[in-house]
Amino acid sequence: QVQLVESGGGLVQTGGSLRLSCAASGRDLSNYVMAWLRQGRGKERELVAAIGLIGGNEFYAHSVKGRFTISRDNANNTTDLQMNDLKPEDTAVYYCGARLYGIVTAPEGYNYWGQGTQVTVSS
């Protein structure tokens, strides 16, 4: 059974930075696509960023491109999301997700999910 645990959320002012971390256990996830997804209040869940097995294979939502960076450490089974220049519209619960067989943008395509960590950006 795969378990994903997120950490690093919190309250930050507009323009600030946060680094989220996802720790995986229960299985070697080096063969899995890892992703960060989010759901704001009253909004649908969306894919924020994803990283494939091969270096350089990354996806970013248009709204975060240039501000967020996803990275993975297969040796430690962790996946991080560095978030810079945060905006109030980035406020959401952020989830770590995992799937086999390539990056997809549909959130329902991710088989494993963490419990989420709240990110709140004040204006």
Q: Are 100 and 111 in contact (CB under 8 A)?
A: yes
User: What is the residue-level pLDDT of the chain in tens, covering all 123 positions?
Assistant: 889 999 999 999 999 999 999 999 998 888 899 999 999 999 999 999 999 986 679 999 999 999 999 999 999 999 999 999 999 999 999 999 999 989 999 999 999 999 999 999 999
State whether the Cα torsion 102-108-111-117 is positive or negative.
positive
User: What span, in angstroms and rounded, lies between the C-alpha atoms of 87 and 21?
Assistant: 19
User: What span, in angstroms and rounded, lies between the C-alpha atoms of 45 and 85?
Assistant: 21
- pLDDT for the residue numbered 55: 63
